Amino acid sequence: MSQEPLAALMANKAKAVQAIVEEMTSLEDAFHYFLNLTQKQGGRHVAAAGFNSKEFESLRSLCQHESLNLLPPPLRGHAGKIHTAITPVEWGLANTGTLVLNSASEDVRLATMLADTHVALLPVSKIVPDVESIEKDLDDILKTEPATYLAFITGPSRTADIERVLAIGVHGPQALHILIMENDAE
């Protein structure tokens, strides 16, 4: 089944809630995008969580090359420093433009919560129509994991607490970039 219409819906819905959506063909491209973005914003310290050691190492050498500091895990010691963070996500829910992340790892949580900008890698194959499509998977996680922190993230953090005027970027990330990864990109 073609994922194209789902990916398009996912992108539209996410853009409607102020996320930035791009398509990437390789992990390396995604890392470059991430580092360029950080440099454009004048950031210096970046964080990555949820990657295997090979991926993490390749990002680290790219960072060195660009004179950016990839904060070493655990991130708790650098909580005040994270400018940009990159993480993979488990699923995308197309009908609301929502990312689903299993954030049981503290580093995944700190990276996605404390960064000014969060860059999320979403494999196109992991885009599903709606939350009901993964209800069984979520239920299994909640029932079988000894502890879990499942996050649905839809756009950057926001508030309308002052005069109901929408303002983006309160306590969570001020920008959310979703990089939709082609199937063989992993």
Task: Provide the binding-site residues for other proteins, judged by CB under 8 A.
Answer: 13, 17, 74, 76, 79-80, 95-96, 98, 104-106, 109-110, 113-114, 131-132, 135, 138-139, 142-143, 145-165, 167-173
CA dist., res. 52 & res. 31, Å (int):
14
Give yes or no for a contact between 92 and 144, defined as CB atoms under 8 angstroms apart. Answer: no
Q: Which residues contact 5 (CB under 8 A, 6 or more apart)?
A: none
Least distance between other proteins and beta carbon 27 (Å): 26
Least distance between other proteins and beta carbon 181 (Å): 23
Least distance between other proteins and beta carbon 154 (Å): 5
For 110, the token pair is: 């700190």
Least distance between other proteins and beta carbon 62 (Å): 27
Distance, C-alpha 124 to centroid of its chain? 14
Q: Which residues contact 38 (CB under 8 A, 6 or more apart)?
A: 44, 46, 68, 83, 84, 117
CA angle, residues 46, 109, 141, in degrees to nearest 5? 140
Closer by beta carbon to other proteins, 35 or else 45: 45
CA dist., res. 133 & res. 147, Å (int):
23
Closer by beta carbon to other proteins, 35 or else 84: 84
Closer by beta carbon to other proteins, 57 or else 137: 137
Closer by beta carbon to other proteins, 62 or else 150: 150
Closer by beta carbon to other proteins, 1 or else 160: 160
Least distance between other proteins and beta carbon 45 (Å): 15
